[in-house]
Amino acid sequence: MQNIYGMTRTDLENYFQNLGEKKFKAIQVLEWLYQKKSNNVLEWSNLKKDLRDKISEDLSFARPKIIKKEADTLTRKYLFELEDKNYIEAVVMFHDYGNSLCVSSQVGCNMGCSFCESGRLKKVRNLETFEMVSQILEIEADLKLRISSVVIMGIGEPLDNFDNVMNFINIINDAKGLAIGIRHITLSTSGLVPKIYDLMNKDLQINLAISLHAPNDNLRSKIMKVNNVYNISQLLTAIKDYIARTNRRVTIEYVMLKGVNDSKECALELANLLKGLNIYVNLIPYNETNHLEYKKSDPKTISEFCETLKNNKINVTIRKEFGSKISAACGQLRSKEVE
């Protein structure tokens, strides 16, 4: 049975036209689901009863359940149980400019980045579109507030679940859906080069973030298996083509690992690699986990790394730390539940 929360406006229009109904019924349904937040078809008073009965018969309204929460001052982390008893997680970050939600796109991850808790537990399956949309709806209902920006940066590699992620973006960006502005949606990838081109050809004005985390192939291959398939040269070519096509600045994510990628030499090499590109670097203090040996770089080291990039005319910021007192590293809360 198809889940209604995984249906785009076009999907709903086709559904109603196949029933011999006018396609504007799709807008009415979207308004009930996402603006009035009603999943009770009996309340949908502008649809006739036999149509409401047909919708109830044809479509599922099931959503993943929140089964655990952790919180600190600026962060809430949620563990969801899916219908097949798998687990995913999502993290809310409270900013001055609004509430940002980091959503998962897969159950587990096959990218195998050595510093990432998500990759320690292998991919079970892709998330369906409705399972991604539901993360937002359930958390909005729990917190009684609006999510204003979304980052597809939780468990999983979004571009490895391309079609469902594209439908997810379509639904949450739709003015009659969750109406989250397209430039308030960020997709983070470890660097699946062919899929970056597929994304580029969608002509979306989303924010693209690339998980680079090393300035050369030797080091990157040691910590990110994907580099053995798509190396830095291939990735940089894709980034340049993406910028040229979309005219959008790309974020380069760089997690700071103590004694691994945080030396001044690494900073200089990174600056030389990225020189002249319309990018900015986001330095990320590492969220440590008991299962992995990596440690967070010292604040002084991170600051010096940042200054080296600035002195070499690279736009750079240090990400504010969120959730260091809770299981906020990607995959941590899920791994506690399944082990």
Q: Hey, which residues are catalytic here?
A: 89, 330
Strand order in the sheet with 98-103: 65-72, 75-81, 87-95, 98-103, 149-152, 185-189, 207-211, 250-256, 279-285, 316-318
Tell me the residue length of the chain: 339
What does the block give as tokens for 17? 């036209």
Helices and strands per DSSP (H, E), number in the chain? 12, 14
Contacts of 270 (CB under 8 A, 6+ apart): 212, 215, 254, 281, 309, 314
Axis-axis angle for helices 299-311, 264-274 (nearest 10):
40
Question: Which is nearest to 68 in space by CA: 89, 84, 82?
Answer: 89
Q: How many CB atoms lie within 10 A of CB 4?
A: 22
- Placement of tokens 């990039």 in the chain: 309
Q: How far apart are CA 271 and CA 306, in angstroms?
A: 10
What does the block give as tokens for 257? 């690992």
Helical residues (DSSP H) of 201-280, grouped into ranges: 217-223, 232-246, 264-274
Q: If DSSP codes are grouped into helix, strand and coil, which group holds residue 237?
A: helix
Give the containing element (helix H, strand E) for 164.
Answer: helix 162-173
Q: If DSSP codes are grouped into helix, strand and coil, which group holds residue 309?
A: helix
Question: Which is nearest to 151 in space by CA: 135, 138, 162, 164?
Answer: 135
Contacts of 24 (CB under 8 A, 6+ apart): none
